[in-house]
Amino acid sequence: MAKSKDAKSKALGEHGSLNPRPQDVKDELFQGSEFFDPHDIVQVKYEMLRRVRVDRVSVTRATQAFGFSELMRQNKTPTLRGHAIPHPGMFFREVTTYAVGCCVVEGSGVKKTLRNSVLIQANTPIPCQKNEHFVLEFDDQTEARIEILQGEADADRDDCLLIGELTLTNLPKEAKRTPRIQVEYTIDSNGMVTATATDKVSGQQQTVSVDYKKGVRPRQKPALV
- What is the pTM assigned to this prediction? 0.57
Low-confidence ranges of the chain (pLDDT < 70): 1-5, 69-93, 212-225
Contact 137, 105 (CB under 8 A): yes
Check residue 166 and give its pLDDT: 93
Check residue 225 and give its pLDDT: 32
d(CA 15, CA 81): 9
- Alpha-carbon distances of 113 from 128, 150, 156, 193, rounded to whole Å: 29, 17, 8, 26
Give rounded-to-5 percent helix, strand, coil for the chain. 25, 30, 45
The length of the chain in residues reads 225
Mind listing the domains of the chain with CATH numbers?
2-91 (no CATH), 100-211 (2.60.34.10)
Report pLDDT digits (tens) over 70-79. 544 444 555 4
d(CA 164, CA 76): 39
d(CA 69, CA 61): 9
Check residue 69 and give its pLDDT: 64
